[in-house]
Structures are given as C-alpha cells and as structure tokens.
Amino acid sequence: MRAHPIALLALLGPLPLAAQPARPVTVVVCVAGDPAPEALAARALEPGLGGARVEVVGDAHCPTAEHVGRFHVEGGRARFRLQAPGGVVLHRAVAGLTSAAQPLTELAAAGQLSTFGVQLYGLLLEA
C-alpha cells in the first residue's frame, strides 16, 4: 500500500524553513472581506508552517515589509499570490476556493485548509 504524501507530512510534523531568518517569518494574508472570521483558520495553518506565523488583515491595511499573500479570482479560478520581502512573487492555483472574500474560512469549511497549508509551506520554502 502506498502512503499518501500529505499523510506523510502530517506524520513528520512541521519541517523547519531552510533559510529561516533570525526572527520568525510572518505571512500577512490580505483579504477583501472582514479579516476577523479568518483569524481562527489562520491559526489552524500555523502548526504545519515550520514556525511561520499567519496574520490576516483587510486589504486597506496590507503591509509591504513582510511575506504578503493575497487571494484573487482570475479567469474563474482562485489563486494565491505570495510576495516575499526580497521582491520574489509566486502564484499558485487554490483548489476548493471560489471567492477571495473569506478564503481561509471557505477552505476550512470545504476541508481544504490543510491542503492549502502544504501549498503555503512550499511557497515559503521557494521564496
């Protein structure tokens, strides 16, 4: 029987970020809707992110100095864009998401939050 890769990641636990800076990485996720309901889902992402912290803010308060992530719908498909402080910008399609208003809550309700967490961790390693 072949093990599922996500199950293996869950068994291994969080892996440290390869080039982790002296201070912990914070990923600021900017959302179009109310950020308050997203906070619980954001906390659920953190254990699998190798020490990275997730903060959710509204678009009007989106910073530029941290790792900034934004959800958007493009061509009928939901996507996530991560911009790292060094200027690296990465994009990924997000399965199970239909809008960008309350993305983390929507992913949690669809049972896809852990899948997105694996994607986000990969983006952090790549950035």
Domain enclosing residue 110, as ranges: 23-126
- Residue-wise pLDDT tens digits, 28-86: 888 888 888 899 999 999 998 888 889 999 888 888 777 899 999 988 889 999 998 88
pTM of the model: 0.75
Number of domains in the chain: 1
B/e letters for 71-105, b = 16+ CB within 10 Å, e = fewer, are bebeeeebbbbbbbeeeeeeebebebbeebebbbb
Residue 79 domain-assigned (yes or no): yes
Residue 1 domain-assigned (yes or no): no
